Structure 1
Amino acid sequence: MAKKIEVKELLDAGVHFGHLTRKWNPNMAPYIYMERNGIHIINLYKTAAKLDEAAEAMKKIAASGRKILFVATKKQAKDIVAENAKNANQPYITERWPGGMLTNFVTIRKAVKKMASIDRMKQDGTFETLSKKERLQVSRQREKLEKNLGSISDMSRLPAALFIVDTLREHIAVKEAQKLNIPIFAMVDTNSDPRDIDFPIPSNDDASKSIEKILGYVSASITEALSERKAEKAEKDAAEDDQSDAKPAKKAKKEPKAKKESKEVEVPSTDPEDKKAMKEAKKEVKLESKKETLEKATDSGEEE
């Protein structure tokens, strides 16, 4: 079980700093502790509770083998999100959010397949048969696709959930997820609306230290769930192998029993003709035995 995050850690990372009071969203009032120097201060006890709740829910999703898409296109969050998503083996979007990424996923998959087909062209030598101008165009197309969609090339179906940094900036992603009923986990600052989010984490979504602290805890929870899933799968495979090895031994023990059962038992015939034949045969045997005794007696008399 991952170590629970402490309020002091969140405080040191500056997670408690909100926006200016004039820019606040009134729906964030339950998560605001106080106002200082014209800035709202977030209640870190509520942040810690919401973070644990979100991490637990994400663990369950990861343990089921489904993917969580991380989304952050702001400058200070890009590299942090990309690094943590890679560590947790999850897809991510850190460049421009492609419109219809979720609602028109089939088209996005076609673009990803196009990227794969260009790679095959380079491997089988087809790329070299193109003219210089065509090669340049194809290379530029490949670079553009890699930049926008390279991080989701392994995502063959819609994600089970989204994790968003700054819901105001990524409002298109929020709308698409809502339309498809995909759960949303998000870092929500004092200027955002938490009602649009299924698992809001009240926190500072502008400071890189704050983003790193929240993402680090979340990615660690996902990694733990994946390792547990891998261990369970290995145990299950080992148990199945043991069962398959034990089955032939059981069969070998049962074989002698089957042989005993297969022995034929002589049943006396009920046919009258058969009975008559048996009686005659017995009589013949008795006569023969009598003859033998007489012969022996005569032989012994002659000798005397």
Structure 2
Amino acid sequence: MANTSDVKSLLDAGVHFGHLTRKWDPNMAPYIYMERNGIHIINLYKTTAKLNEATEALRKIAASGRKVLFVATKKQAKDIVAQYAGEANMPYITERWPGGMLTNFVTIRKAVKKMALVDRMKKDGRYETLSKKERLQVDRMRAKLEKNLGSITDMTRMPAALFVVDTVREHIAVKEALKLGIPIFAMVDTNANPRDIDYVIPSNDDASKSIDIIIKEVTGAIKAGLEDRKSEKNAEDKAKEAAKAEKKAPKAEEAKVAAPAKDEEE
């Protein structure tokens, strides 16, 4: 059952405001509570239930050590996503979605490696051997790649899931994830089709307050998953240390018993 306080916080953030009724997608009907002044109102009890379902799944993904790629290129969302995803140590795309980001991941990784190459050149002195014009070209290339791909430099393999803010705007990202069978989590407004989304969070994807409260909740679950993983790893390390100590203990006892026997023979 949805917690009333959770629903109230979502209400205060304006998560319930959908789009104009004439712009709605009929597939969102199960998540719509009513129509008011020509605007659809989202059922926040269903939003809370779906949000809980999504956060639980994301916590498990994070606990398994896999990455969730956040996608939000709209003005209201990019800074919010960059902040919270960065704090959770998750990759994110907040500039233009690079075509083939998922379906042509090898090429994207090559572009990221170019950035690393430039950084190495600056460290080992090769950068200084270039002409002024060449250095300018290299710096421009590095800046462009940093802007578009800087947040995914640590993403060495395909993400385990995608989290999307505004599936209509990010339809290319959604299409690529669907093609590869990557689970999609998303804030879905009343003008979008939820059928292709694995974890639908019916919500206002235009207001910054609405985006903030949902992303904060989602990344909070991811952080909890990372803590679960850390605790599990610590427990495993302690168990290994205890096992080693147990193996050493019998040998020490054997040495004590053997020592007197040797003295008697002498």
TM-score (norm 1): 0.82
Aligned AA (1:12): D
Q: Equivalent residue for 2:183? A: 183
Q: CA deviation at 1:257?
A: 7.7
Preserved CA contact (<8 Å) 1:185 1:198: yes
Q: Equivalent residue for 1:214? A: 214
Higher relative contact order (CA 8 A, sep 6+): 2
Q: Equivalent residue for 1:228? A: 228
SS in structure 1 of the partner of residue 187 of structure 2:
strand
Aligned mates of 2:120, 2:184 — CA distance in 1:
36
Residue segments in structure 1 that go unaligned for 5+ positions in a row: 260-304
Q: Equivalent residue for 1:281? A: none
Q: Equivalent residue for 2:33? A: 33
SS in structure 1 of the partner of residue 98 of structure 2:
coil
Aligned mates of 1:53, 1:249 — CA distance in 2:
48
Q: Equivalent residue for 1:17? A: 17
Preserved CA contact (<8 Å) 1:63 1:226: yes
Residue 153 (str. 1) matches residue 149 (str. 2): no
| RMSD between aligned residues | 1.9
Residue 43 (str. 1) matches residue 46 (str. 2): no
| Structure 1 segments (4+ residues) deviating >6 Å | 256-259
TM-score (norm 2): 0.94
The 5 Å alignment of 1:257-276 reads none
Distance 1:154 1:168, change over 3 A: same
Q: Equivalent residue for 1:106? A: 106
Counting matched residue pairs gives 260
What are the Cα deviations for residues 212-254 of structure 1, in whole angstroms up to 9, with x where unaligned? 0000011111101111211121121122112212312212334
Distance 1:60 1:110, change over 3 A: same
Preserved CA contact (<8 Å) 1:5 1:48: no
Percent identity over paired residues:
73
Q: CA deviation at 1:87?
A: 1.2
Q: Equivalent residue for 2:65? A: 65
Q: Equivalent residue for 2:248? A: 248
Aligned mates of 2:196, 2:248 — CA distance in 1:
59
Q: CA deviation at 1:5?
A: 6.6
Q: Equivalent residue for 2:263? A: none
SS in structure 1 of the partner of residue 157 of structure 2:
coil
Aligned mates of 1:16, 1:111 — CA distance in 2:
40
SS in structure 2 of the partner of residue 194 of structure 1:
coil
What are the Cα deviations for residues 244-276 of structure 1, in whole angstroms up to 9, with x where unaligned? 1231221233468889xxxxxxxxxxxxxxxxx
What are the Cα deviations for residues 3-62 of structure 1, in whole angstroms up to 9, with x where unaligned? 997100000000000000000000000000000000000000000000000000101100
Aligned AA (1:186): A
Q: Which structure has the larger Rg?
A: 1
Aligned AA (1:33): Y
Residue segments in structure 2 that go unaligned for 5+ positions in a row: 260-266
Q: Equivalent residue for 2:82? A: 82
SS in structure 2 of the partner of residue 6 of structure 1:
helix
Aligned mates of 1:225, 1:92 — CA distance in 2:
18
Preserved CA contact (<8 Å) 1:5 1:217: no
Q: Equivalent residue for 2:91? A: 91
SS in structure 1 of the partner of residue 147 of structure 2:
helix
What are the Cα deviations for residues 67-110 of structure 1, in whole angstroms up to 9, with x where unaligned? 00000000000000000101111000000000000000000000
